[in-house]
């Protein structure tokens, strides 16, 4: 029986706590008597018969007819699936998307459906490489569809292949992939890694254009999403749900398939990363020591390759299909069941170890903007109720934060770092002053459409993701980060955790309460 | 008179070249430069020559390359050893005027007829006069044995070289007139590309790589005399970026970010390490292989690269230049300028106005006595790194100083 999440009160006997530092980690001693560590629940048991569960979901959907009843010869069927940003790390083969898509295709074949398109719903993310597509959908699907141009990637900048469906009562434009909009049935294959994913966000974001996305990917929406992990208090979700209504009213018929995974994040050589430190065995300590010593001597490029080759042993814990909102309600329950940890009260300082990976640097570099997004956009928002850190509090992150960017994946990030952050770190100011220029830059547009580059506007979205945290906190400190780079982000560099706590004392006093979010594995703090 | 003199001793130049990467002061100490006491140069028999007593004299990049043994052998036949360096000079003339020196030793100074009426010393398209007439060879005062140079307590100058400066102008502003003239000359060299862009209805973009004294003066020249231009500057040090902005740059970024800044400005693409388009014109105020190669990367096809920094030996892949039909032109000194409004003026007249209006005295970072020349050379050689721009010798002694207000 897996143990639930756990909040450890640090005392004198508590061993040092593991902190991620990009492609490395360290052990940090937190002050006794006023520190606590939040550990994720242990992985829930996996479904034994995955294929059986998928088939059962397709044949017994929620609030919709069984999938076979919706399939007929001569119909236009489009299958859209979550892109390379999920799950993290990538899961061991076979990927759950492959299993679901194969099951859907089997039913389509039985019904005589021969007009099938499969689309990667990447919104403004970079296009997936062939190997990434093969990993996600499997060789059989890839070889059957890709060579004939029937497996492809959504292009949010292709005016000929976008359908404008109208506006929400709030005046939000709704424009999505034309093939998806004009199909007799759109089947969406989702992986719900965190509570933010899924629901109408799958289609209204994943298949949308910039014109549509800008209505909810902006500082105001982000500041009023408290948090992204709590759909009912998230403006991001409310906007997507309004857009979903426009989709329905426009006649877009969606069959949503959502899956949840357990938190089995790291394979056995790295198993100690998910363990509670006082339960480390001598072999775990040896592995930690050997790993850190080796990584200290490993060039960052090589270390990056090692970590990005990790395939997580994630296992599916649920699959449900049918009507979007009804399905998502069930999915969210499953996510919460795996990830919720009850936490009492807020803290003065929240400490975060930033790992090597985020949704936007798979097989890539965790550049400084993504470090910000991971800390302030994602980890800060891993709460329900109220933020883990009090208003006016401090976040301390550990990460090398080098001024390194992937030139192919993140070209506009480099300009954003050099030009925009040199001018302002205020999300509202940059959205007014700079966003349009980047969003409409023909070079970025070209790179997004034809190579493997994130859209020109994407670094803005990453920065906006942290809008609430930027407003909420009085200081953000990065331990071990390149000082010049950290200052460009508007944060304060510190050499050690003690140094960081000293710096933080200016605003939270000499004896602040400290909370460490021991992630990954991912969790959501249910703060009361 | 007391003077710093450069002698033609090959061994000394070799030592300077070896020592300079480690220590500019060492190059000054062990190289071809020496502090001497000797007679002032004799006045030629021709009319119009004056003795002038320097007040301030600047240390220029070309002076440094000589002291450090890096100057091109090209000049061997255009200068006359030994000579006293120093061509950025504000001085008192023997007839009581406060003047700045236009250092080019032109036709008038050498007793030769002018190439055209009203020609400035730098004008003409046959440089034979630079090695003829009543003087020994020398492209400028500061490279000619006959005249002496500004790194001395006395030198001689021809009336055609002297410009009386306004009473209100400080010595520190005046000593920047000569580099300002060089910068303005380079700025106006971009006008063919800029005017063509304007005629096409485009916003002309000029990139400036390097923001030492010359780069900053070029920026001031662009802002004052080249209309409608967007100026994008790559400068290595933060204080240079700040000065560039204050002198009129629209964008100032670290030098290694200039290519991307130009791309953002013009909205073109990047193929390989070249922009597909780029700046209409670029001023290279650095002058080495890397800087020229960089400028070729972000200057648009059929654009123009103006070499303001003295380049000496360079190694370049010119395939891009060939493919893009880029023009590279030199910008040496000054002369008679054809301004965008159709008028003609001497560059020095424009420079005197610019030095005062732009308060270029703020570029003077430190002054040294002639006796402290090794420290001065070391400071000048590391100016950017040490947060400085222009280092000058202060030769005023007891004379009234017109200091920066």
- Report the distance separating Cα A465 and Cα A478, nearest Å: 18
Cα B107 to Cα B118: distance, rounded to the nearest angstrom: 11
Is the same domain home to A26 and A170? no
- Is position A276 within any domain? no
The secondary element (H helix, E strand) that includes residue B33 is: strand B33-37
Asked if omega into B81 is within 30° of 0 (cis), the reply is no
* A278 min Cα distance to partner chain B (Å): 48
B267–chain A nearest CA distance, Å:
7
Q: Which two tokens stand for residue B166?
A: 């306004």
Residue A329 lies in a domain: no
Does A352 lie in the same domain as A255? no
Q: Which three-class secondary structure state does DSSP give residue A463? A: helix
pLDDT exceeds 60 at position B405: no
Distance CA A146, CA A140 (A): 10
| DSSP-assigned letter for residue A248 | H
Q: How far apart, in whole angstroms, are the C-alpha atoms of residue B109 and residue B105?
A: 6
Nearest C-alpha in A relative to B275: A443
With residue A351 as reference, give the H or E element that holds it: strand A347-353
Question: What Cα–Cα distance (Å) separates residue A496 from each residue in A483, A501, A516?
Answer: 12, 9, 16
List the one residue out of B387, B363, B403 whose CA is nearest residue B177.
B363
Distance CA A19, CA A353 (A): 5
Q: Partners of B58 in the beta sheet?
A: B392
Residues in B closer than 8 angstroms to A442, CB to CB, are 267, 269
Task: Decide which of A196, A230, A261 is a domain's last residue.
Answer: A261
In the Cβ-directed half-sphere of A498, how many Cα atoms lie within 13 Å? 1
Confidence (pLDDT) at B70: 85
- Residue showing tokens 């606590």: A36
- Say yes or no: A352 and A456 in one domain: yes
Beta bridge partner(s), residue A322: A62, A256
- Residue A84 carries which DSSP code? T
3-state SS assignment for residue B270: strand
Domain identity same for A445 and A496: yes
In terms of Cα–Cα distance, which of A508, A497, A424 is closest to A474? Answer: A508
Map out the domains of chain B as residue ranges.
2-179+354-394, 190-330
Alpha-carbon span A99 to A223, nearest angstrom = 37
User: Which of A425, A391, A379, A395 lies closest to A500 in space, CA to CA?
Assistant: A395
Q: At what angle do helices B289-298 and B258-266 cross, to 10 degrees?
A: 20
Token pair of A517 as six digits: 């979010």
pLDDT of B400 above 90: no
* Sign of the C-alpha dihedral computed for residues A231, A232, A238 and A244 taken in this order: positive
Quick count: other Cβ atoms within 10 Å of Cβ B330? 13
DSSP class per residue in A377-406: IIITT-EESS-SEEEEEEEEEE----S---
Question: Within 13 Å and on the Cβ side, how many CA atoms surround A266?
Answer: 16
Which of A208, A232, A261 represents a domain boundary (last residue)? A261
Show the low-confidence residues of chain A (pLDDT under 50). Answer: none
Say if residue A96 is in the same domain as residue A194.
yes
Its pTM stands at 0.88
Structural domain contains residue A158: yes
Distance of alpha carbon B397 from alpha carbon B377, whole angstroms: 20
Residue where a domain stops, chosen among A261, A277, A294 = A261
Token digits of residue A347: 């803290």
How far does A450 lie from chain B, in Å, by closest CA? 13
pLDDT, one tens digit per residue, over B366-388 is 999 999 999 999 999 999 999 99
Which pLDDT belongs to residue B73? 85
Interface touch A418/B269, C-beta < 8 Å:
no
Residues A54 and A93 in one domain: yes
Enter the DSSP assignment of B362: G
Spell out which residues of chain B touch residue A411, defining contact as CB-CB under 8 Å. 270
- Full domain range(s) for residue A242: 50-261
ipTM surpassing 0.90? no
Chain center to CA of A298: 28
Judge contact between A11 and A281, C-beta under 8 A.
Answer: no
> Could you give the CA distance from residue A304 to residue A413 in angstroms, rounded to a whole number?
19
Asked if residue B403 has pLDDT above 60, the reply is: no
Average pLDDT over residues B114-143: 94
Q: Distance, in angstroms, between B212 CA and closest chain A CA?
A: 22
The residue to which tokens 């004299």 are assigned: B57
Dihedral angle computed from the Cα positions of residues A379, A381, A382 and A385, in that order, rounded to the nearest 10 degrees? 150
In a domain? residue A305:
no
Longest dimension (CA), chain A: 71
Q: Is residue A285 one of the residues assigned to a domain?
A: no
Residue B398 scores a pLDDT above 80: no
Beta-strand pair A389-398/A492-494: unpaired
Around Cβ B316, how many Cβ atoms within 10 Å? 14
* Burial track A263-296 (b if 16+ CB lie within 10 A, e otherwise): bbbbeeebbbbbbbbeebeeeeeebbeebeeebe
Residue A268 belongs to a domain = no
Indicate if A22 and A57 belong to the same structural domain.
no
Mean predicted confidence (pLDDT) in B237-256: 97
Query: Is A442 in Cβ contact with B263 (below 8 Å)?
Result: no
Q: What are phi and psi of A366, to 5 degrees?
A: -80, 90
| Same domain, residue pair A126 and A201 | yes
CATH code linked to domain B190-330 = 3.40.50.720
Closest CA to B392 of B34, B58, B148: B58
**Chain A residues lying within 8 Å of B270, measured CB to CB:** 411, 443
Residue A519 is encoded by which pair of tokens?
Answer: 């992630």
Same domain, A30 and A138: no
- pLDDT tier at B8 (50, 70, 90 boundaries)? confident
The domain tally of chain A equals 2
Residues facing residue B390 across a β-bridge? B364
Subunit contact A414:B253, Cβ cutoff 8 A:
no
- Measured distance CA(B169)–CA(B361) in Å, rounded: 10
| Cβ pair B253:A419 closer than 8 A | yes
pLDDT above 90 for B28: no
Helix, strand, coil percent content, chain A, rounded in steps of 5: 40, 20, 35
Question: Are the beta carbons of A443 and B260 separated by less than 8 Å?
Answer: no
A94 φ, ψ (degrees, to nearest 5): -80, 140
Residues whose CB falls within 8 Å of the CB of residue A53, separated by 6 or more in sequence, listed in order: A47, A316, A318, A319
Copy the structure tokens of residue A220: 């105001």
Nearest chain B residue (CA) to A413: B260
Q: What distance in Å separates the CA atoms of residue A292 and residue A23, rounded to the nearest whole number?
A: 9
CATH number at residue A419: 3.90.226.30
Burial environment of residue B239 by CB neighbours within 10 A (0 to 12, 13 to 18, 19 or more): middle
Pairing of strands A389-398, B344-346: unpaired
CA distance A180 to A137: 18
Same domain, yes or no, for A249 and A397? no
- Interface residues from chain B to A (CB-CB < 8 Å): 253-254, 257, 260-261, 263-264, 267-270
Q: What is the mean pLDDT of chain B?
A: 94
- Concatenated DSSP letters for A204-228? HHHTB-HHHHTTTSSHHHHHTBS-T
Nearest by CB to residue A419, choosing from B264, B267, B270, is B264
CA distance A501 to A513: 11
The alpha-carbon gap from A214 to the nearest alpha carbon of chain B, in Å, equals: 22
* Interchain CB distance below 8 Å, B270 and A443: yes
Upper half-sphere CA count for residue A172 (Cβ side, 13 Å): 30
User: Average of pLDDT values for B183-206?
Assistant: 97
- Residue B100's nearest CA partner among B20, B182, B41 is B182
Contact residues of A toward B, CB < 8 A: 411, 414-415, 418-419, 422, 437, 441-443, 446
Q: How far from the centroid of its chain's Cα atoms is residue B375's Cα?
A: 22
Please state, in angstroms and as integers, the Cα–Cα distance from residue B267 to each residue in A420, A434, A441, B275, B276, following that order: 16, 14, 7, 10, 10
CA distances from B49 to A44, A383, B39, B104, B147 (A): 98, 85, 17, 14, 10
Kindly report the nearest CA distance between residue A403 and chain B, in angstroms: 13
Encode pLDDT of B203-245 as tens digits: 999 999 999 999 999 999 999 999 999 999 999 999 999 999 9
Same domain for A105 and A186:
yes
* Neighbouring residues of B241: CB distance < 8 A, sequence distance ≥ 6: B211, B233, B235, B252, B253, B254
At B306, give phi and psi (nearest 5°).
-100, 115
* CB atoms A419 and B263 under 8 Å: no
CATH 3.90.180.10 for the B2-179+354-394 domain, yes or no: yes
Is A430 a member of any domain? yes
What residues of chain A lie within 8 A of the CB of B254, using their CB?
418
Residue at A362 is within a domain = yes
Looking at the complex, report in whole angstroms how far the Cα of residue B241 sits from the nearest Cα belonging to chain A.
12
DSSP letter (8 states) at residue A199: T
Among the partner-chain residues A418, A442, A443, the one whose CB lies closest to the CB of B257 is A418
Give ∠ CA B359-B311-B248 in degrees, rounded to 5. Answer: 25
Query: Strands, E, within B75-229: which ranges?
Result: 89-93, 98-101, 155-158, 162-164, 205-209
Measured distance CA(A80)–CA(A201) in Å, rounded: 13
Q: For residue B181, what pLDDT is reported?
A: 98
Contact assessment for residue B162 and residue B97, using Cβ atoms and an 8 Å cutoff: yes
Same domain, A10 and A107: no
Q: Give the C-alpha separation, A411 to A487, whole Å.
A: 21
Residues pairing with B208 in the sheet = B233, B283
What's the CATH number where A153 sits? 3.40.50.11440
């Amino acid at each position: 029986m897996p143990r639930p999440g756990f909040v450890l009160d640090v005392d004198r006997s508590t061993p040092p706590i593991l902190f991620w530092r990009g492609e490395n980690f360290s052990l940090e001693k937190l002050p006794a008597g006023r520190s606590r560590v939040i550990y994720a629940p242990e992985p829930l048991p996996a479904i034994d018969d995955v294929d059986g569960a998928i088939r059962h979901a397709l044949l017994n959907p929620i609030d919709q007819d069984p999938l076979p009843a919706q399939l007929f010869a001569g119909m236009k069927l489009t299958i859209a699936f979550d892109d390379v940003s999920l799950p993290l790390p990538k899961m061991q083969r076979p990927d759950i998307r492959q299993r679901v898509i194969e099951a859907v295709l089997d039913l389509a074949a039985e019904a005589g459906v021969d007009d099938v398109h499969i689309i990667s719903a990447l919104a403004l993310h970079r296009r997936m490489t062939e190997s990434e597509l093969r990993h996600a959908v499997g060789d059989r699907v890839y070889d059957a569809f890709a060579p004939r141009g029937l497996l492809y990637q959504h292009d949010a900048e292709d005016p000929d292949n976008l359908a404008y469906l109208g506006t929400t009562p709030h005046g939000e434009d709704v424009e999505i992939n034309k093939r998806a909009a004009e199909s007799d049935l759109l089947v969406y294959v989702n992986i719900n890694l965190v509570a933010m994913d899924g629901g109408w966000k799958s289609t209204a974001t994943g298949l949308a254009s910039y014109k549509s996305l800008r209505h909810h990917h902006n500082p105001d929406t982000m500041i009023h999403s408290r948090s992204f992990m709590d759909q009912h208090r998230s403006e991001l979700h409310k906007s997507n749900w309004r857009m979903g209504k426009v989709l329905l009213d426009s006649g877009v018929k969606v069959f949503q398939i959502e899956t949840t995974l357990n938190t089995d994040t790291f394979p056995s050589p790295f198993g100690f990363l998910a363990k509670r430190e006082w339960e480390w065995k001598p072999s775990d300590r040896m592995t930690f020591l050997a790993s850190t010593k080796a990584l200290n001597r490993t060039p960052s490029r090589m270390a990056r390759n090692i970590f990005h080759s990790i395939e997580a042993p994630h296992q599916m814990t649920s699959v449900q299909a049918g009507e979007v909102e009804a399905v998502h309600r069930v999915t969210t329950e499953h996510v919460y069941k795996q990830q919720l940890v009850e936490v009492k009260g807020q803290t003065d300082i929240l400490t975060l170890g930033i790992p090597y990976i985020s949704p936007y640097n798979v097989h890539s570099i965790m550049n400084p903007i993504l470090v910000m997004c991971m800390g302030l956009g994602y980890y800060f928002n891993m709460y329900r109720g109220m933020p883990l850190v009090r208003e006016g509090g401090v976040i301390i992150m550990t990460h090398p934060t080098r001024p390194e960017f992937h030139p192919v994946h993140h070209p506009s990030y480099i300009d954003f770092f050099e030009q925009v952050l040199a001018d302002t770190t205020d999300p509202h100011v940059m959205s007014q002053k700079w966003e349009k220029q980047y969003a409409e830059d023909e070079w970025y547009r070209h790179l997004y459409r034809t190579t493997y580059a994130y859209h020109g506007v994407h670094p803005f979205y990453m920065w906006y993701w942290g809008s609430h945290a930027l407003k909420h906190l009085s200081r953000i400190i990065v331990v071990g980060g390149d000082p010049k780079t950290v200052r460009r982000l508007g944060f304060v560099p510190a050499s050690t955790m003690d140094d960081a706590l000293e710096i933080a004392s200016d605003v939270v006093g000499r004896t602040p309460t400290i909370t460490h979010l021991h992630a990954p594995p991912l969790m959501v703090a249910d703060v009361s | 008179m007391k003077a710093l003199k450069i002698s033609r001793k090959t061994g000394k130049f070799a030592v300077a070249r070896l020592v300079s990467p480690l220590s500019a002061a060492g190059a000054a100490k062990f190289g071809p430069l020496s502090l001497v006491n000797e007679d002032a140069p004799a006045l030629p028999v021709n009319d119009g020559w004056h003795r002038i007593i320097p007040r301030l004299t600047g240390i220029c990049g070309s002076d440094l390359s000589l002291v450090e043994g890096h100057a091109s052998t090209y000049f061997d036949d255009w200068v006359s050893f030994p000579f006293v360096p120093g061509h950025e000079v504000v001085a008192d003339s023997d007839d009581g005027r406060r003047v700045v020196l236009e250092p080019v030793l032109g036709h008038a100074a050498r007793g030769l007829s002018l190439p055209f009426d009203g020609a400035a010393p730098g004008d003409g398209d046959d440089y034979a006069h630079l090695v003829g007439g009543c003087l020994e060879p020398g492209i400028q005062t500061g490279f000619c044995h006959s005249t002496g140079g500004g790194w001395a307590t006395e030198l001689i100058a021809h009336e055609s070289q002297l410009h009386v400066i306004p009473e209100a102008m400080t010595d520190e502003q005046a000593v920047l007139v000569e580099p300002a003239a060089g910068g303005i000359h380079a700025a106006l060299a971009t006008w063919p590309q800029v005017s063509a862009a304007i005629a096409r209805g485009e916003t002309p973009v000029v990139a400036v790589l390097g923001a030492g004294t010359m780069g900053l003066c070029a920026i001031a020249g662009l802002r004052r005399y080249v209309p409608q231009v967007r100026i994008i500057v790559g400068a290595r040090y933060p204080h240079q970026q700040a000065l560039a902005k204050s002198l009129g740059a629209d964008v100032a970024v670290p030098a290694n970010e200039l290519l991307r800044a130009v791309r953002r400005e013009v909205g073109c693409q990047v193929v390989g390490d070249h922009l597909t388009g780029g700046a209409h014109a670029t001023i290279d105020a650095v002058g080495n292989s890397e800087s020229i190669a960089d400028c070729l990367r972000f200057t648009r096809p059929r654009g123009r690269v103006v070499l303001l920094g003295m380049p000496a030996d360079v190694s370049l892949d010119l395939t891009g230049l060939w493919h893009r039909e880029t023009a590279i032109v030199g910008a040496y000194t000054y002369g008679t300028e054809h301004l965008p409004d159709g008028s003609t003026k001497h560059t020095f007249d424009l420079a005197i106005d610019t030095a005062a209006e732009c308060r270029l005295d703020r570029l003077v970072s430190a002054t040294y006595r002639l006796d402290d020349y090794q420290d001065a050379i070391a400071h000048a050689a590391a100016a950017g790194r040490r947060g400085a721009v222009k280092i000058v010798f202060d030769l005023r002694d007891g004379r009234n100083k017109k200091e920066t207000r």
